[in-house]
Amino acid sequence: MKIFKDRVAVVTGGASGLGRAMALRFAREGMKIVLADIEKDPLRKAEKEFEESGYPVLAVRTDVSKGSDVKALADKAFQTFGGVHVLCNNAGVAPGGTVWEQSEKDWEWTLGVNVWGVIHGIRTFVPRMLEQNVEGHVVNTASVAGLLSPPGMAMYCVSKHSVVTLTECLHHDLIEFGAKIRASVLCPAFVPTGISDSERNRPDALRDEKVKSKTDLQREEQLRHAVKSGRISAEQVADLVFQAIGTDKFYILPHQKIKPAIEIRMQDILLERDPTNTLNRKPGP
């Protein structure tokens, strides 16, 4: 995709973190922005900031786990700006815990946002983007958790592995179709955002009444610390996303130092050996 000025970008999870950074990066290139987020107040704040900066913006409160919400988002985007050229399925949540201790509500919430949110985005927007018959791009936010399988992260890894393979299949389908649209999958490690506090957006109907164990609380605190300590900013990731769209680059891995861990997992598979816990692996000589 080469032309950005006056094109339209839709970003879910756009009120904060990576989503807001990507939307701002696109706006600086002259794009019209559609911000979608489940959080009402941060969404209004972001919309106001974009307007005060002179950026054309539309803010739509959206629960991406609901197909009806995503359809309404698409309808408003096309009605307001006449088209959509970049779609960033970015909204996500990051729960943790031992796999056998996760409740049905835990799984429903995680897969609803992280997997169904992307599915709804693709099913709703891509057909209309194809009808435009112009260059476009879809960016699905996964994670390095979509390329690894560490302990205590089963739900998150399941959801993000799903996003990786879904995007790979989307890539092939677009090529086979001869589409002018391309796709990328974003797989960052820890970036200082609010992802570690995603419980704040959990619907009441899917809240779990279980008492968190000491181990659960320790893992949550470890995640918050790791996210806060991330050395690559959301703005830097947004730059990489913009560059990837401009060059039709598929895999976006902002954290290059994670690649050895990914390679170990690939070798585990190819050599048919037990999975390596790369989080506890000691650096080699």
Distance CA 39, CA 17 (A): 13
Domain assignment of residue 1, yes or no: no
Rounded to whole angstroms, how far apart are CA atoms 251 and 236? 16
Give a yes or no: residue 236 inside a domain. Answer: yes
Catalytic residue among 125, 156, 190, 242: 156
- By C-alpha distance, which of 186, 216, 190 is closest to 106? 216
176 is a domain residue:
yes
Q: Is residue 269 part of a domain?
A: no
Q: Half-sphere exposure (CA, 13 Å, Cβ side) for 158? A: 19
With CA atoms as reference, report the closest residue to 142 among 169, 172, 121, 166.
Answer: 166
Confirm whether 3 is domain-assigned.
no
* pLDDT in single tens digits along all 285 residues of the chain: 999 999 999 999 999 999 999 999 999 999 999 999 999 999 999 999 999 999 999 999 999 999 999 999 999 999 999 999 999 999 999 888 889 988 999 999 999 999 999 999 999 999 999 999 999 999 999 999 999 999 889 999 999 999 999 999 999 999 999 999 999 999 999 765 655 567 777 777 777 766 666 666 566 565 554 555 657 899 999 999 999 999 999 999 999 999 999 999 999 999 999 999 987 754 333
pLDDT of residue 222: 58
> Catalytic residue at 55?
no
Q: Residue 208's pLDDT is what?
A: 73
Q: How many domains does the chain have?
A: 1
pLDDT (0 to 100) of residue 190: 72
Q: Tokens 């970008």 identify what position?
A: 9
Cut 0.85: pTM above it: yes
For residue 228, the model assigns a pLDDT of 58
- Report the interhelical angle of 104-114 vs 154-177 (nearest 10°): 30
For residue 86, tell me if it sits in a domain. yes
Does some domain include residue 167? yes
C-alpha distance from residue 83 to each of 67, 129, 265 (Å): 19, 7, 41
231: three-class secondary structure by DSSP? coil
Residue 66: CATH number of its domain: 3.40.50.720
> What pLDDT, on a 0 to 100 scale, did the predictor assign at position 283?
39
**Residue 284, domain member (yes or no):** no
Domain around 100: 8-258
Structure tokens at 205: 């109907």
Q: Per the structure block, which two tokens stand in for 222?
A: 């470890």
pLDDT of residue 96: 83
